[in-house]
């Protein structure tokens, strides 16, 4: 990855703008092949989670491909059942063991949960102080949750990883994150495929001689977001990173901005916050 695709986080650590999502990649041979293609294509950020049950598989794939720990940025997430102070601390130790490393680049709270809200964050602040993680952040937090966190946090998240694609632009939250020096990172940046058959984006893609996925990811780059598209297909893994050599016009950006339908492919964070667990 080019140096200019690195974002500087509020804690001064650097993070690649585009990373590789690994959700649902659990078989070793599939992970080995995906990591090989992704690393060769230039990906340096790999996104895993305790919930994906593939931390060990990812670590083995990095090993099998001869990729040194310091050459990649690993994002991990505390699973809902591991929230609360003691469990979070213990779960980070277990993640370090699974990943076969002595540090995680970025550890996120996977989902906001009302009963564990402050204790989980305090645990992440402490594991960061202990040097076990370099940066700490959250996932699926809305503005009100971040404002609430601010009332007790010693330090604020440097990343907020949220579902974000043309059918769910969450512009208000993206603007808020930006003003608070929190990098918004898009999960399901392609809407898990749901936006790929949009005829307007297809026209734009034809015009630029690019794929629909590349137009969407380029739109996110120009909005200043980070993103972690997932693919196990070698050609798609490569094309998802080939988005730094063309530009969308201001008009094209606006046309994409107005596709918003507030349409989620995943859980609604407010429901998860209240229920204490994911519901689908």
Q: Which two tokens stand for residue 223?
A: 């909005």
Beta carbon of residue 261, minimum distance to ligand NAP (angstroms, whole number): 16
Residue 233 makes contact with ligand NAP by CB under 6 A: yes
Length of the chain, in residues: 280
Alpha carbon distance 14, 90 (integer Å)? 26
Binder among 17, 80, 161, 220 for ligand NAP (CB under 6 A)? 161
Binder among 47, 105, 177, 252 for ligand NAP (CB under 6 A)? 47
Cβ burial of 150 (10 Å; 0-12, 13-18, 19+) is exposed
Q: Which two tokens stand for residue 13?
A: 């650590």
Q: Closest CB to ligand NAP among 9 and 21?
A: 21
Residue 193 makes contact with ligand NAP by CB under 6 A: yes
Residue 152 makes contact with ligand NAP by CB under 6 A: no
Residue 164 makes contact with ligand NAP by CB under 6 A: no
| Residue 207, annotated as binding a ligand | no
Q: Which two tokens stand for residue 65?
A: 């491909």
Token pair 């230039």 is found at 42
Residues in region 105-144 near ligand NAP by CB under 6 A: 110, 139-140
Q: How far is CA 175 from CA 103, 135, 180, 183, 191, in A?
A: 31, 21, 9, 10, 20
Q: Is 279 a catalytic residue?
A: no
User: Which has the closest alpha carbon to 116: 75, 79, 156, 155?
Assistant: 79
Segment near ligand NAP (CB under 6 A), from 5-13, 55-63, 146-154, 184-192?
A: 184-192
Under the rule (CB under 6 A), what is the footprint of ligand NAP? 21-23, 47, 110, 139-140, 161, 187-193, 196, 211, 213, 228-233, 236, 239-240, 266
Which residues are tagged catalytic?
52
């Amino acid at each position: 990855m080019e140096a200019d695709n690195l974002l500087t986080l509020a804690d001064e650590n650097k993070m690649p703008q585009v990373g590789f999502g690994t959700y649902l990649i659990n078989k070793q041979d599939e992970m080995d092949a995906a990591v090989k293609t992704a690393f060769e294509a230039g990906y340096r950020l790999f996104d895993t989670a305790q919930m994906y049950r593939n931390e060990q598989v990812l670590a083995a794939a990095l090993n099998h491909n001869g990729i040194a720990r310091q050459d990649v940025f690993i994002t991990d997430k505390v699973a809902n059942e591991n929230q609360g102070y003691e469990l979070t601390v213990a779960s980070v130790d277990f993640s370090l063991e699974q990943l076969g490393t002595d540090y995680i680049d970025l550890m996120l709270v996977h989902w906001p949960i009302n009963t564990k809200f402050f204790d989980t964050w305090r645990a992440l602040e402490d594991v960061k102080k202990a040097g076990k993680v370099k940066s700490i952040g959250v996932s699926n937090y809305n503005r009100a949750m971040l404002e609430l966190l601010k009332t007790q946090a010693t330090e604020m998240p440097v990343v907020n990883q949220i579902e974000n694609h043309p059918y769910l632009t969450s512009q208000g939250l993206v603007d808020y994150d930006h003003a608070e020096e929190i990098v918004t990172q898009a999960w399901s940046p392609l809407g898990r495929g749901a936006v790929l058959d949009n005829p307007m984006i297809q026209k734009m893609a034809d015009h630029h001689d690019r794929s629909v996925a590349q137009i969407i990811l380029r739109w996110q780059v120009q909005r200043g977001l980070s993103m972690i598209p997932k693919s196990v297909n070698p050609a798609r893994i490569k094309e998802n990173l080939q988005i730094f050599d063309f530009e969308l016009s201001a008009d094209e950006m606006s046309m994409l901005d107005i596709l918003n339908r507030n349409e989620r492919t995943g859980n609604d964070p407010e429901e998860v916050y209240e229920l204490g667990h994911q519901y689908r």
